[in-house]
Amino acid sequence: MAIERIKTGERASAIVKHGPASGGGVVYLSGQVAEDPDADVQEQTRSVLSRIDALLAEAGTDNEHLLSATIYLRDIANHFALMNEVWNACVPTGHAPARACVEAHMARAALLVEISIVAAIPN
């Protein structure tokens, strides 16, 4: 089984692919945050999901192959329903991953949502 790291920095890789050299396998995405941290939680969620879509495409997969999602919200009581409105519109019907959503202190005060994804890579 091969491991391929893409967009690797000092502390993390944006994408880690694991699987046979012939194709298939699993892709792990680092937690993604919004490009515009001054936006509201819905705009931040759209931005995060757009970044995830681009990384999944780079890894050879898409949001119909999501296996797991971990969602971190700065204020779960006030942002859970708003984030879910965007999430529900972006995840294809019938392709919802296993998911956890927790409240978390974020690395920067302006960040309202961070999402980490695991997806299958089709053959």
pLDDT single digits (tens) 30-66: 999 998 878 999 999 999 999 999 999 999 999 999 9
Which residue type occupies 101?
A: C
DSSP E strands: which ranges in the chain? Answer: 2-8, 13-19, 26-33, 66-73, 98-103, 113-120
Q: Rounded mean pLDDT of 104-121?
A: 96
20 against 45, higher pLDDT: 45
The residues spanned by each domain of the chain are 2-120
Tell me which CATH code domain 2-120 carries.
Answer: 3.30.1330.40
Q: What is the pTM of this model?
A: 0.94
Q: How far apart are CA 94 and CA 106, in angstroms?
A: 31
With 90 as the cut, is the pLDDT of residue 1 above it? no
> Given this model, what pLDDT does residue 30 score?
97
